[in-house]
Amino acid sequence: MPTVDPRFSVLSEDFATDPYRYFAPLREQAPVHYEPAIDSYFLSRYRDVKRVLTDHETFTTETLQVRAEPVMRGPVLAQMTGAEHTAKRKIVVRGFTGQALQDQIRAIHANAAELIAPLLPRGRMDLVNDFGRPLAVHVTLDVLGLDKKDWRQIAAWHSGVAEFITSIVLTPERRRHCMDCAEQLEAYLVPVIEQRRRHPGEDLISKLCTAEFDGIAMSDRDVTALIINVLAAATEPADKTLALLFKHLIDHPEQMAQVRQDPTLLPAAIAETLRHTPPVQLVPRQAERDAVFAGSTVPAGATVFCLIGAANRDPDAFAAPDTFDILRTDLATARSFTAAAQHLAFGAGLHQCVGAAFARAEIETVAAMLLSLLDQVRYTPGVRYRETGLYTRGPASLCVDFTPAQSTPEPH
């Protein structure tokens, strides 16, 4: 096993190319890794990461005030605490569960069918750029109740917002670009919010506009921030998980065959994808007081990054952690999309992902459709696989060849 060089940096090219190579040495030799260039601590052991995410007294989300609030144009859910957090989180959850979820699954199916139809006869596609990414944006716009004809523009603004939140270091030029994107997105949302206040519908924006917190309707600033929060939080990890799921199944043809034969295994395959290659790799927190991990002190006021990918591959938490195995017995599928999940891909504690059940429904619906429409899915010859991203991570593209099956997408 490689040792952690004293000059090792999570900001290095090497780490960006393949962080997974470094996780075991980090967990074993530098479980509290200090990064002087950004004055931050990186934790990699499962129990330490879980402790940071669930000890809300010692570790807060204060850091999001500078990492997210400027581009969200107001406070995001993950920054809130106490009664305000509980109440606003409930409003958002209502938009993704019960009857709303059933309607959304139909819309997900329709969106996927429309996007895949022109790609089928070609026998070749980029699963990320031709399909997964536009699909995730379409689906999120449907949930929010935003006009899909504007999707390219909204996707461009969204990528500026996402860049701001997920960049560890940002040049002044990129920062300006990200802020421009956020300001234009906010300006786009102003008349939409005004209209939904007057004529509410069934969409999430209407629910946010009409919901009351402490007997008072939310301000336009609060509603705007929650819309951008959902747009940013829902889109990227979902499209990355779908692509990673297919990458793992292509790499493990015997598991692809098992899922094709028994589609009830799909949720287990999605859960194992989230454990093995979580699309959200870093979760930041701020230490409110000194905290000791493995004999090292993280001082009060420090920024702490949880390395979710490293924690999910800790042998103290999962057997043979580097092996992708949809049948593993130490990852209960039914729990994997709930607060009791053993993997940490959705975080843990009070700020654990509100969209976990929705993400499962989305990825399961779309993956089942793709598996029924695409036979013999394989990598396009000569195309090199590459992953990008330190904060959120996934394939830059996933070019596949396939044989179209003799069916067309069924209406749902």
Coil, helix or strand at residue 56: coil
108 vs 400, which CB is nearer to ligand HEM?
Answer: 108
345 vs 373, which CB is nearer to ligand HEM?
Answer: 345
- Tell me how far CA of residue 68 lies from CA of 33, 158, 227, in angstroms: 24, 13, 13
Stretch that binds ligand HEM, among 116-124, 160-168, 235-243, 258-266 (CB under 6 A): 235-243
Diameter over CA atoms, the chain: 62
46 vs 402, which CB is nearer to ligand HEM?
Answer: 46
Question: Applying CB under 6 A, does 267 fall inside the site for ligand HEM?
Answer: no
What Rg do the C-alpha atoms of the chain give, in angstroms? 21
Q: What are 126's two structure tokens?
A: 């980029």
Stretch that binds ligand HEM, among 5-13, 122-130, 214-222, 234-242 (CB under 6 A): 234-242
Binds ligand HEM by CB under 6 A, chosen from 164, 324, 346, 402: 346
Binds ligand HEM by CB under 6 A, chosen from 165, 280, 298, 367: 280
**DSSP of 335-399:** TTTSTT-SS-TT--GGGS-TTHHHHHHHHHHHHHHHHHHEEEEEEPTTPPP-EE-SSB-EES--E
134 vs 355, which CB is nearer to ligand HEM?
Answer: 355
Per DSSP, 73 falls in state T
Alpha helices in 252-300 (DSSP H): 253-261, 266-276
CB 167 to ligand HEM: min, Å = 16
Binds ligand HEM by CB under 6 A, chosen from 72, 291, 310, 353: 353
Measuring CA to CA, which residue among 42, 67, 82, 92 is closest to residue 350?
82
Per the CB < 8 A criterion, the answer to whether 226 and 196 are in contact is no
Rounded to whole angstroms, the Cα distance separating 179 from 308 reads 28
Stretch that binds ligand HEM, among 37-45, 184-192, 233-241, 257-265 (CB under 6 A): 233-241
74 vs 237, which CB is nearer to ligand HEM?
Answer: 237
| N residues, the chain | 412
Binds ligand HEM by CB under 6 A, chosen from 230, 310, 311, 374: 230
Question: Applying CB under 6 A, does 77 fall inside the site for ligand HEM?
Answer: yes
Binds ligand HEM by CB under 6 A, chosen from 347, 394, 395, 409: 347
Question: Applying CB under 6 A, does 305 fall inside the site for ligand HEM?
Answer: no
Rounded to whole angstroms, the Cα distance separating 408 from 120 reads 9
CB 158 to ligand HEM: min, Å = 13
Question: Applying CB under 6 A, does 351 fall inside the site for ligand HEM?
Answer: yes
Rounded to whole angstroms, the Cα distance separating 237 from 224 reads 21
Strands (E), 128-219: 212-213, 216-217
CB 111 to ligand HEM: min, Å = 14
Rounded to whole angstroms, the Cα distance separating 79 from 233 reads 14
Q: Binding pattern to ligand HEM, positions 354-383, x when CB under 6 A?
A: xx--xx------------------------
225 vs 402, which CB is nearer to ligand HEM?
Answer: 225
8 vs 223, which CB is nearer to ligand HEM?
Answer: 223
Binding site for ligand HEM (CB under 6 A): 61, 77-78, 89, 92, 96, 229-230, 233-234, 237-238, 241, 279-280, 283, 345-347, 351, 353-355, 358-359
